[in-house]
Amino acid sequence: MNIIVCIKQVPAKDAPLSIAGNWIRESDIGFEMNEPDSYALEEALRLKEKHGGEVIVLSLGPERVKQTIKEALAKGADRAIHVADDQFAQLDPLGAAKVLAAAIGKEKCDLVLTGLQSDDHGFGQTGVLLAGLLNLPHATIIMQIELRDGKMKLKRELEAGWFQYIECPLPAVLSIQSGINKVRYATLKGIMAAKKKEIATINRESLGVTLEPTQRIERIYVPSKTKKTEFLTGTPKEMAAKLVEKLKFDARVI
């Protein structure tokens, strides 16, 4: 079972964002593995531990994404492909998927995993687009993968507390739901082992993908407020007392 896991590096959760054009200023902030993708990586590692094979990490982005790739290798991925692209933030969802699909097309794999969405653009389309471009069956919002007789039985999360089992052949593309598993930490041994693992870097241009953007982010901005928030100030005790008074006498909810 050879599995490719697509991983994106995104701004750290607590990073203060300052907008620059239709992206953010990258110079003063930290980056980390997109959290939904960490669940996809963990699921790939568990499948490999159970069924054998190889886990290949695929990431698109500038030089800085190597740090996240190394983290994935330290957790147990076997090797990595880095598609180097300084302009990746300007790609539309289809463009990014075309680049990833071209890189995947060069490998032999049984399964492609993605997280459900990224914490930066949040397009939430990559896995489904990859399936379309690679002409593979797919399923999304996966909470469980069972491999049997060369097929998968998958548990999909639906809305309002509903779930559904579906059967899906291999090869396929799956978008993994966050919370499907408990993500491991890299061990010291893993970090040492990762130093010897291969990171193949390819340029986006060398993949020969023709980009025809279908959409453009014209600008990004801090959304205007829909409600007027009354901010309470003082010491914690004073703020708590003020809040209770407001809730009792103004909002009348307690």
The total of other beta-carbon atoms located within 10 Å of residue 132's CB is 15
Which distant-in-sequence residues (6+ apart) come within 8 Å of 238 by Cβ?
Answer: none
Residue placing its CB nearer to another protein in the complex, 81 or 176? 176
Angle between helices 93-105 and 126-134 (to 10 degrees): 50
Which distant-in-sequence residues (6+ apart) come within 8 Å of 195 by Cβ?
Answer: none
| Span near another protein by CB under 8 A; candidates 40-48, 55-63, 102-110, 116-124 | 116-124
Using CB under 8 A, which of 53, 62, 124, 190 touches another protein? 124
Query: How many chain residues touch another protein (CB under 8 A)?
Result: 79
Query: Residue 206, interface with another protein (CB under 8 A)?
Result: no
Query: Residue 106, interface with another protein (CB under 8 A)?
Result: no
Strand order in the sheet with 54-61: 151-157, 138-148, 172-176, 111-115, 2-6, 54-61, 79-84, 199-203
Strands 111-115 and 19-20: unpaired
| Span near another protein by CB under 8 A; candidates 26-34, 49-57, 107-115, 173-181 | 173-181
Site for another protein, residues 83 to 102, rule: CB under 8 A: 92-94, 97
Residue placing its CB nearer to another protein in the complex, 113 or 194? 113
Strands 2-6 and 54-61: parallel
Q: Which helix (H) or strand (E) holds 188?
A: helix 188-194
| Span near another protein by CB under 8 A; candidates 75-83, 184-192, 193-201, 229-237 | 229-237
Which distant-in-sequence residues (6+ apart) come within 8 Å of 55 by Cβ?
Answer: 3, 5, 41, 44, 45, 48, 76, 77, 78
- Provide the minimum distance between the beta carbon of 197 and another protein in the complex, in angstroms, as a whole number: 28
Query: Residue 200, interface with another protein (CB under 8 A)?
Result: no
3-class DSSP state for residue 193?
A: helix
- Provide the minimum distance between the beta carbon of 201 and another protein in the complex, in angstroms, as a whole number: 27
Site for another protein, residues 40 to 79, rule: CB under 8 A: none
Residue placing its CB nearer to another protein in the complex, 196 or 237? 237
Widest CA span of the chain, in angstroms?
66
Using CB under 8 A, which of 17, 20, 192, 200 touches another protein? 17
Site for another protein, residues 128 to 147, rule: CB under 8 A: 128-129, 131-133, 137-141
Query: Residue 165, interface with another protein (CB under 8 A)?
Result: yes
Residue placing its CB nearer to another protein in the complex, 52 or 212? 212
| Span near another protein by CB under 8 A; candidates 51-59, 79-87, 193-201, 219-227 | 219-227
Q: Give the integer Cα–Cα distance in Å for 143 and 154.
A: 7
Six-digit token string for 214: 């279908």
